[in-house]
């Protein structure tokens, strides 16, 4: 039944294959799916940053788009906005965090929050009632909450709400690590960035973005390479699928619970 509301509305509006991606629709198709009850929009937030020499710079963007689509399909009455790929990544001068590595793009927290706010206001204007901020990177989770709190206070007397889906990122940390250990991974392999957990998720979603010869090669990847903790050598799509299922199912449940809490 997943995606049925979207599919039925689109089948009446266009012979094109139904899509949960906003940018695949015409404005009249979008108008019709909103009128038919698709009033939840997921804003997927990625980031363009280094992920060590074994993963492409667009890791976060590709991953959050894929997972957002899976979540929207399970919700059945949701669409996915274009990915936000410009996010806070540290200072430029002097460079900090991932900005020490070529290819990382950063913006200020203020600019980022203004971007999220403007996107949310746009979607509310067009008829969406639940606007989900869903970020794949840990560095801006507080910004998501700040924007959601600010807009929800302003819109308190209206039906529109913003939900900062922090469970999406939280599930990718401790709960995913626990699943990996139960499946045979060693805690020391998991890592926080570009280790086994991070790399396995990418192998399950888009292996073309992983340089498999580099994750198993010598010397072992470390902080000097932009890989923080862990060892990606035994990364696999099978390990990654554990994270995909956990994140999709858990985030879908959290969004449903938020929507239900607004109707009481």
Over residues 131-177, the pLDDT tens digits come to 999 999 999 999 999 999 999 999 999 999 999 999 999 999 999 99
- Domains with residue ranges and CATH for the chain: 1-165 (3.40.50.10310), 173-248 (no CATH)
Give 41-64 pLDDT, tens digit per residue: 999 999 999 999 999 999 999 999
Average pLDDT over residues 105-111: 97
pLDDT at 240: 98
pTM of the complete model: 0.92
* Mean predicted lDDT score pLDDT of the chain: 92
pLDDT at 222: 84
Average pLDDT over residues 207-221: 88
Give percent of the chain above pLDDT 70.
Answer: 93
Give 172-197 pLDDT, tens digit per residue: 999 999 999 999 999 999 999 999 99
Using the CB atoms, write b or e for 70-107: b if 16+ within 10 Å.
bbbbbbbbbbbbebbbebbbeeeeeeeebbebeebebe
pLDDT at 8: 46
pLDDT band at 15 (very low <50, low <70, confident <90, very high): very low
pLDDT band at 229 (very low <50, low <70, confident <90, very high): confident
């Amino acid at each position: 039944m997943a995606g049925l509301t979207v599919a039925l509305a689109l089948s009446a509006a266009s012979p094109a294959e139904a899509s949960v991606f906003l940018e695949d629709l015409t404005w009249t198709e979008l108008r019709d799916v909103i009128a038919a009850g698709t009033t939840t929009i997921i804003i997927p937030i990625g980031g363009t940053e280094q992920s060590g020499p074994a993963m492409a710079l667009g890791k976060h963007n590709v991953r959050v788009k894929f997972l957002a689509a899976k979540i929207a399909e399970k919700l059945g009455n949701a669409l996915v906005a274009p990915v936000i790929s410009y996010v806070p990544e540290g200072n430029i001068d002097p460079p900090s965090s991932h900005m020490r590595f070529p290819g990382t793009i950063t913006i200020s927290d203020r600019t980022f929050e203004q971007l999220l706010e403007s996107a949310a206001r746009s979607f509310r204007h067009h008829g969406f009632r639940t606007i989900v901020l869903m970020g794949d990177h840990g560095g801006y989770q507080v910004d998501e909450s700040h924007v959601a709190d600010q807009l929800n206070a302003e819109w308190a007397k209206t039906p529109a709400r913003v939900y900062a889906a922090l469970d999406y990122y939280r599930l990718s940390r401790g709960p995913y690590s626990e699943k990996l250990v139960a499946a045979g991974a060693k805690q020391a392999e998991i890592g926080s960035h570009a280790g086994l957990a991070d790399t396995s998720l990418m192998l399950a979603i888009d292996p073309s973005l992983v340089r498999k010869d580099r994750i198993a090669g010598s010397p072992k990847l470390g902080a000097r390479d932009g890989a923080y903790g862990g060892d990606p050598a035994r990364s696999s799509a099978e390990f990654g699928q554990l994270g995909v299922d956990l994140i999709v199912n858990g985030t879908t449940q959290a969004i449903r619970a938020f929507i239900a809490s607004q109707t009481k």
